[in-house]
Structure 1
Amino acid sequence: MYLVSRTETFAKLFFIVSFTGLFMYVALAFYSFHTAYTTVSQIGKFQENSKIKNYDAVVERFEKDLKYILVWSSNSEQAETLLQYEGQEAFIERDCPEINCYITTNKTILNDDYVNFDAIVFNMSIFWQPGGFSKLPERRAKRQKYVFYGMLPSDSHPICNLRVENFFNWTWTYKFYSDIYSPFIEVKNLVGNVVAPNRNVIWKNDLRTSTKSDAVRVSTKTKAVAWVMDKCGPKIYTMFGLTKLRKALKQFNLTLDVYGCGNLNCPEGGCAEAIQKEYYFYFAYDGSMAEDYVTTEVLKAYLNDAVPIVVGGADFTRFLPENSYINYHFYTEDKLAAYLHYTITNPAVYNAFFNWKKYYTVNKADEFKGYCDLCKLLNDKKKFNTFSTYENFRSWWYYGSLKDKCLPKGTTKLSEITAYLNETVRF
């Protein structure tokens, strides 16, 4: 009797376990089928939604997607600098902090609508082209960032048109206070870290101490100052009193030799070699007195073992190693000539100008770094979701008198003035 009861108990347990297992199997199969069906359905919905013009909703949902940067088309040489990096590869190759960005000049790749781009970069040359403003976007999304790209000096390239006010969200220029700061040169320490340009740079405190090894570097030099003119024009030659400087140098049997633009021709080995072997100093004029504007012109001196005589509107202490240059604006022509003669005739004084080489290198900055910074900004949720524009952009770009820069000379008729300014009616 006990055996029969026990057998019945095992049979009941077996039935319960079997039934439970069958139920779980059916439930699991149903769940798997439902999940697969739901996934396919959601993919179908995304594919359908991707055709919708409201690109903001898609980006909001898929935060890991690429950030798309449109370089607004322009035929200028300056714009070509921006257009040479098509795609995403450059972000990866240059090891940018953020690499999920894509550059293009094709306005139609995102559902055939440029409103879908995260950022649109406008080269400043667009605003001088005939009818340039008529070629700007007719529509824009509030979430988009309009970026002003300008690497030409603001004092000779002001933006006069009133339409640029409240137009740009971010700026990308050589100015320190740009959202994306893009200098022409950079100073690195020997470890490879960028030291300058920097608003608060601290240089080594022994840069005025000369070393004997530097004497070998200048042993072949016999001439005072060289200047290689890349841009021609009588104004460039006369505006800084170079005739006076030449006259002052002549009193010490020193010369200022100008190459190019109808002056001297570079020797067979090239001007760079001549500077390195023959000249103590190089006249480094950037062609502008704009604030923060320091171009690669100084590299003609630094890379060829000459001391640059810098001319410009920048605070050079933020850009170049201390005691590695002479600031033209600190002297009269007579005093500058006397100082150059003094340094040439005192090797210890002259050699001290090269002491920076024990600590730093000076080279051209990477042009693509601006794109890296732009990609980083696009990935910064707080900054990207904050809407702001440059309300007084024209004054931010050029802080001088726009009336003096923008009004045509000799014009008296109001109709001619307004036509010239292309909608600009307020200064």
Structure 2
Amino acid sequence: MLCFKTQVIKGLHPNVAYFFKTMNRYLKWQTGIVLVFCGLVVCMSYYLLAEIKENRKFRVMSDDAATKTKTGVTNQNNRAVHHVQSAIRQTNEDWTYLKPPMISLTYGYIEPTFNPAIIRTALGHKCTTTIDPANMHRSDAVVIRFDRAFEQNQFTKPKYRRQDQMYVFLSLEPSWPFYNHDFSFVDKGFFNWTMTYRRDSDIYFPYFTMPTLIDDDRQSRRFYGQNAVEQVLSKKTSQFTALVAIGRCEGGDGPVNRLKYVQAMEKSGLRIEKRGGCYNNKFRRPWNSNIFRYYAGTFKFFLAFENGYHCRDYVTEKVWNNSLKSGTVPVIWGAPKGDIEKILPPGSYIHTDDYESPKQLVDYLNYLNSNATAYSEYFNWRRRAPDQVAWNRKRATGYEMLCDKLCEMKKFGNVSKIYHSFKDWYINQDNPECFKITETNW
């Protein structure tokens, strides 16, 4: 602010001096106002800064409190969610958190329905399969088929095998061809599980069960009921009473003696249509084709004669597909009747064990052939459909059952058994007649 001294003003013109005196008073007054204003500004600024600082402190405290509250709620929710997830994982209804087990198929893929690339089970489990030998060491299970199990190879002498890896023996063939094989490669401490048609296997793998036999073609409604039975009976148009189809004629007591039994039945008066390689009369279509089933359905009986005699639980497509599904009555020569009773519907078959000789059996078959009422009783089991609940609760078999066991093992961490003597289970616990038939009545 500019201020003029009094001595300077006194030396000027009166008018000029008056001007400067007036300006001096004005400037002094204005300076006071400015100073007061500046003081007010400073005070207000200090007050506002203090207020802003306080508000900021309050917001920080509020945010901290909100964060703590939110974190507490989040932690509480996380604990609740974790508790629910843990509870779910204790059931068999949610296995999605498990990595699907891998199954190494050392024999390759046979057909998609037999061993698919991806296995999904009724329990909601999922497994994958591989045929690449490079994946063998990463697999949770290694399945070795009977034709590779009794010789030294990359499967029976693996370079690397994990402790938690399950080695599985697979066979749908009777045990008699392997009676004299060398078991040294796999006998002790090699296999963990067995997967065969025998009911005492770790993984039960029959050719069929009634639910799988019918569900394959989605024809349960057409298979059961009075109308279905009447249609089956109306198709019996063949001039022969029975049909037989045999492709293996030698190599063991089973193949040789079943041919003898068929010959004895034919000599006793049974009219038989003979098909297969053993009779140089092969059918042009596969045994599991609709055309073959329709053809077989024109006969009243199918001679379901297996290539093994009294081999435990050995029931093949001859009984399931060629007979029951085709609409004929199976005449069984093979597994003991006690095993058949636990596998097939009551009253659905005729067993050779019930007859003292082929002649006695033929007399009964000829009686049924001439008595429509007595013959139709063998279809009573089909006149009413099975209970749907029991039907839907069918036991998983084969690869489904293997996948279920692998998922359970992966979840609970339980390692399965080891066969300390595989030969004892496979050979010694089968029936002696499976390997050698010493007494015959045919």
Q: Deviations over 1:310-369 (max 9, x none)?
A: 1112411122221111001211212101111211121100011122222359xxxx9x95
Displacement of 1:22 = 6.8
- Alignment correspondent of 1:304: 326
Q: Distance in 2 between matches of 1:373 and 1:157?
A: 26
**RMSD between aligned alpha carbons?**
4.4
1:211·1:355 contact (CA, 8 Å) conserved in 2?
Answer: no
- Alignment correspondent of 2:167: 146
1:86·1:104 contact (CA, 8 Å) conserved in 2?
Answer: no
Q: Deviations over 1:119-177 (max 9, x none)?
A: 22212211245x43786312222121112222211122345312322111122111112
What does residue range 100-119 of structure 1 map to in structure 2 within 5 Å? 100-109=126-135, 114-119=136-141
Question: Match of 2:164, SS?
Answer: coil
Structure 2 length as normaliser, TM-score?
0.62
Q: Distance in 2 between matches of 1:191 and 1:231?
A: 28
Q: Distance in 2 between matches of 1:395 and 1:182?
A: 20
Matched, 1:258 2:292: no
1:398/1:268 CA distance change after superposition, 3 Å: closer
1:97·1:372 contact (CA, 8 Å) conserved in 2?
Answer: no
- Alignment correspondent of 2:110: 80
- Alignment correspondent of 2:178: 157
1:173·1:182 contact (CA, 8 Å) conserved in 2?
Answer: yes
Q: Counterpart amino acid of 2:406? A: L
2:264 pairs, out of 240, 244, 257, with: 244
- Alignment correspondent of 2:35: none
- Alignment correspondent of 1:36: none
- Alignment correspondent of 1:377: 405
- Alignment correspondent of 2:199: 176
Matched, 1:136 2:157: yes
Q: Deviations over 1:267-294 (max 9, x none)?
A: 88976544322x2211101211310111
Unaligned runs of 5+ in 2: 1-42, 65-95, 217-224, 286-290, 387-393, 436-442
2:233·2:376 contact (CA, 8 Å) conserved in 1?
Answer: no
2:425 pairs, out of 396, 410, 415, with: 396
- Alignment correspondent of 2:248: 231
Q: Distance in 2 between matches of 1:23 and 1:210?
A: 83
Unaligned runs of 5+ in 1: 27-61, 194-206, 407-427
1:9/1:123 CA distance change after superposition, 3 Å: farther
Displacement of 1:19 = 4.6
Q: Distance in 1 between matches of 2:172 and 2:332?
A: 19
- If you compute each CA radius of gyration, which structure gives the higher value, 1 or 2? 2
Q: Distance in 1 between matches of 2:164 and 2:236?
A: 61
Q: Counterpart amino acid of 1:374? A: L
2:140·2:164 contact (CA, 8 Å) conserved in 1?
Answer: yes
1:310·1:327 contact (CA, 8 Å) conserved in 2?
Answer: yes
2:143·2:168 contact (CA, 8 Å) conserved in 1?
Answer: yes
2:209 pairs, out of 186, 191, 197, with: 186
Q: Counterpart amino acid of 1:103? A: T
Q: Distance in 2 between matches of 1:212 and 1:68?
A: 44
Q: Counterpart amino acid of 1:282? A: F
Matched, 1:65 2:99: yes
- Alignment correspondent of 1:18: 56
1:260/1:23 CA distance change after superposition, 3 Å: same
Structure 1 length as normaliser, TM-score?
0.64
Question: Match of 2:176, SS?
Answer: coil
Q: Distance in 2 between matches of 1:176 and 1:350?
A: 31
Q: Distance in 2 between matches of 1:321 and 1:404?
A: 25
- Alignment correspondent of 1:345: 370
Question: Match of 1:244, SS?
Answer: helix
Question: Match of 1:188, SS?
Answer: helix
Question: Match of 2:301, SS?
Answer: strand
Displacement of 1:384 = 4.4
- Alignment correspondent of 2:347: 323
1:190/1:178 CA distance change after superposition, 3 Å: closer
Q: Counterpart amino acid of 1:18? A: R
Judge which range, 322-331 or 12-21, deviates more: 12-21
2:168·2:195 contact (CA, 8 Å) conserved in 1?
Answer: yes
Q: Distance in 1 between matches of 2:132 and 2:113?
A: 11
Q: Deviations over 1:176-220 (max 9, x none)?
A: 122211110111399969xxxxxxxxxxxxx9x999936852552
- Alignment correspondent of 1:39: none
Matched, 1:121 2:143: yes
- Alignment correspondent of 2:33: none
